[in-house]
Amino acid sequence: MSILENKVAVVSGAGSGIGRAIAITYAQEGAKVVVADINEEHANETANLIKQNGGEAFAIKADSSKADENKKLVDFAVEKYGRLDIACNNAGVGGPAKPTAAYEPEEWDKVIALNLSGVFYACKYQLEQMEKNGGGSIINIASIHGQVAAPNSPAYTASKHAVVGLTKNIAAEYATKNIRCNAVGPGYIETPLLTANLDEAGLKAVAAKSPMNRLGTVQEIADLVAFLSSDKSSFTTGSYWISDGGYTIV
């Protein structure tokens, strides 16, 4: 039996990259998936890929930085499938590459709005529904930069550190309500965004930052997220799972 059989899941930022891989893996493991992305075309592409492989999915356009859009997403999942068992809050943005003093307030605000406030909004409405369900599992996608610095990305680093802290707080508050909350910290992963912005030499340089001397794959992150979303990790909450090829150990 698949590890997410008969579960209902939502995934934000699921139109491409890690989010798409998570949505597809959820479906392969038996979940009904609500695919959310600010790019409606990309969300539909992910949902269609799931359907073409025999899975069940529905796409919806959502801006994860806005509270009402996060509520709408939860409401839609419940209207469509009757409940919400799993949520993966994956949507995020890197922001401009500048040292801290050079950051403009509006640039800071944009990153924090999506990467931190958006995760809080998502968790708020997901938790409300999961309490009604009698339980659930939330996975927040942080980053290795939830633990170590990313020079010239102060807003990104601050937001991802904060997501780890928020995850731990939620885990402590809701542990007796059968709701688990964990964070995943991907390292350098081979995604369209990364390959579009780096040439071959740049990709090799990034890969060499980890002892494994390679980039991670979106499937490696998706498999970890699926495990944390399932009952196979039923005694695991408040954890921060780094998947980085060893980047942060040296």
247 catalytic per annotation? no
8 A C-beta contact, residue 243 and residue 187: yes
8 A C-beta contact, residue 89 and residue 139: yes
Q: Alpha-carbon Rg of the chain, whole angstroms? A: 17
Q: Measured between alpha carbons, how far is 205 from 119 in angstroms, rounded to an integer?
A: 31
Which residues, at least 6 apart from 235, have a Cβ–Cβ distance to it below 8 Å?
none
The total of other beta-carbon atoms located within 10 Å of residue 53's CB is 11
Which residues, at least 6 apart from 169, have a Cβ–Cβ distance to it below 8 Å?
none
Angle between helices 154-174 and 118-133 (to 10 degrees): 20
Kindly name the residue from 156, 174, 188, 247 that is annotated as catalytic: 156
Active site residues: 156
